[in-house]
Chains A and B, each alone.
Chain A
């Protein structure tokens, strides 16, 4: 087995290049050898220990949205280089090529058990799913559409924070998305924020922590500042389990920790409480307006 590269026990950090032949890999949590098929057929959750691997946005959308109802939004928006940052365009283009996505978030309309939703899913493979102008704009449009069409809003986050290559404009996306959520909030519509590994910085300090309901995947790491920054700035000792979903829940920051297989059911359960019951017309969802 010497041809297997040593994987980080911390988990989550796996890269494609660490997968020999792209077929077998060692689970970073339980060290079981897993075949690619074991993972891809199980929403990328280790069948042995339940370790949650990162999930691509496409797989996430498929796992949440009613079949045949997904209508993507704004996949034509393209990232500009407002600061003229060196090599930025090339980086974004490389991510786009690798993922087949236009940017780090995929947004769209769909239904869940017939309930109309606007869904945004961040994809960590795309520049660490950092938030620049396109991510902020796509999310804002999805939230605004949800407000106008009386949809629930669901955002699945995974993000390194703000996209520093876009400077102040990336910072402003925090205010823009949060402002759009203010209108959605006032319209009495539910926003369910799902935190996945890892969610940090400008994403956590804007829409991701504004959910009526905040759900987190098991053991995902969530925070404002990264642990290295905290240690270097404050010389504080970090408590055990610091910034894990479980730590965040015990400190009152998260409503529930939800396994990936249960996520759709959990979200729908909240929609049942918060939304008028849907009726299904020709296999497509329509809301009954009382």
Chain B
């Protein structure tokens, strides 16, 4: 796929283009440009490293939203054994923004649920840009209860700008479909591992995110509100989204510091979309490691551990009178 560079990637791409030009020109002629090319290559590597090792929060948000970023089904293809998709919430419909089903990864059985975005207009019509309706959350809950019945651990891959803010979603009680999952996931007696692989958009992400372990890809973000939404309210202008992204502390490293995220999963230097093989290898080994950690626990311990994890969240002072 031809990738349009992000704004901050343009200087690197320009250098790369110059290098390519140089090599092309020299190819037909008898001039040795090895030395010059090597110097340019070094310069590119230096700039790449400098850029990607110092990404701002807003730049990470852009990578998390990159149209070429691997989505749930890309990872399924890259690092899962099989995936038997199961459809429907048994009440009103099926939600293609929230696929789910039985899967194997590293020889383990899991119930996979998660968000799926589309890569082009046609796919996005089907996937609704990864914004699930109530039936998506209800399907996910149905599958999670099924997993519990058969003692199958649950894997949740989160990648959504948010739950869908639409008339039909409201009419079918999108709020309750999320709230119900928050309550019910807390009582599941099988291990749940959640990974934020791209966008962790607020309640729409948390609605399948009440897990024993919460992992996050290095360039994913997880936030109570989108940077644009926050900027619109607090800065009165969406163009302050970069400032809002910084203020919201929404990157994987920030969330690790808050204790929300148990592990940050490394991505290839310039983002998961530049090397799916590496990204999916890293994802797979992190998932397996955390399921392995949870292996010895009793159903009661699994449940209690999950509640204890979420019970402690919140920062306040409690002055003694």
Chain A contact residues, CB within 8 Å of chain B: 76-80, 82-83, 85-86, 132-134, 136-137, 140, 162, 164, 166-176, 178-183, 185-186, 201-202, 204-210, 223-225, 229-230, 233-234, 236, 238-239, 242-243, 251-253
Number of chain B residues close to chain A: CB under 8 A: 54
Chain A residues, Cβ within 8 Å of B184:
182
Name the distance in Å between B283's Cβ and chain A's nearest Cβ: 21
- Cβ A205 vs Cβ B310 within 8 A: no
Given contacts A168-B222, A168-B223, 14 further A-B contacts (CB under 8 A): A76-B320, A134-B316, A166-B224, A173-B313, A173-B314, A174-B178, A179-B311, A208-B175, A209-B179, A224-B163, A224-B203, A225-B170, A239-B167, A243-B170
Sample (6) of A-B pairs whose CB atoms are under 8 Å apart: A79-B317, A134-B316, A137-B316, A167-B248, A202-B224, A209-B180
Within 8 A of A (CB), among B241-256: 247-250, 254-255
Q: Of A76, A172, A185, which is within 8 A of B314 by CB?
A: A172
Which 3 interchain pairs have the tightest Cβ spacing? A225-B165, A133-B314, A178-B182
Which residues of chain B come closer than 8 Å to A238, judged between CB atoms? 167
B52 neighbours in A (Cβ, 8 Å): none
| Residue from the list B167, B186, B224 in contact with A171, Cβ < 8 A | B224
A108 to B193, CA, bound (A): 35
Does B298 count as interface, using CB distance less than 8 angstroms?
Answer: no
Verify B166–A179 contact, CB threshold 8 A. no
Q: Does B49 contact A (CB under 8 A)?
A: no
Contact with A along B140-182 (1 / 0, CB 8 A): 0000000000000000000000010111011111111011101
Given contacts A162-B224, A164-B233, contact A178 B316 (CB under 8 A): no
User: Nearest-CB distance from A127 to chain B (Å)?
Assistant: 12
Min distance, Cβ A147 to any Cβ of chain B, angstroms: 12
Report which residue of A82, A168, A207 has the largest number of chain B beta carbons within 10 angstroms of its beta carbon: A168
Q: Which residues of B are found within 8 Å of A137, using beta-carbon distances?
A: 314, 316
> Would B186 and A182 count as touching, CB distance under 8 A?
yes
CB closest chain-A residue, reference B243: A86
| B317 proximity list for chain A (CB < 8 A) | 77-80
Contact of A185 among B183, B233, B248, B319 (CB under 8 A): B183
Contacts of A162 in B (CB 8 A): 202-203, 224-225
CB nearest neighbor in B for A160:
B233
Is there contact, CB below 8 Å, between B255 and A172? no
Give chain B interface residues in 262-321, CB to chain A under 8 Å: 306-307, 310-311, 313-321
Main secondary structure on chain A at its contact with chain B? helix
- Nearest A-chain residue to B314, judged by Cβ: A133
Q: Are B170 and A174 in contact (CB under 8 A)?
A: no
Taking the nearest CB of chain B, how far is it from the CB of A239, in angstroms?
7
CB-based contact A76/B182 at 8 Å? no
Say whether B260 faces chain A, with CB atoms less than 8 Å apart. yes
Q: Which of B167, B225, B233, B313 contacts A169 (CB 8 A)?
A: B313
- Expressed in whole angstroms, the Cα–Cα distance for A76 and B317 within the complex equals 9
- The distance in angstroms between the C-alpha atoms of A82 and B176, with both chains bound, is 28
Distance (Å) between the CB of B176 and the closest chain A CB?
4
B316 touches A78 (CB 8 A): yes
Q: Does B8 contact A (CB under 8 A)?
A: no
Distance between Cα atoms of A172 and B320 in the complex (Å): 25
- In angstroms, Cα B178 to Cα A167, docked, is 19
Residue numbers in A under 8 Å from B197 (CB-CB)? none
Among B170, B187, B207, B314, the residue within 8 A (CB) of A136 is: B314
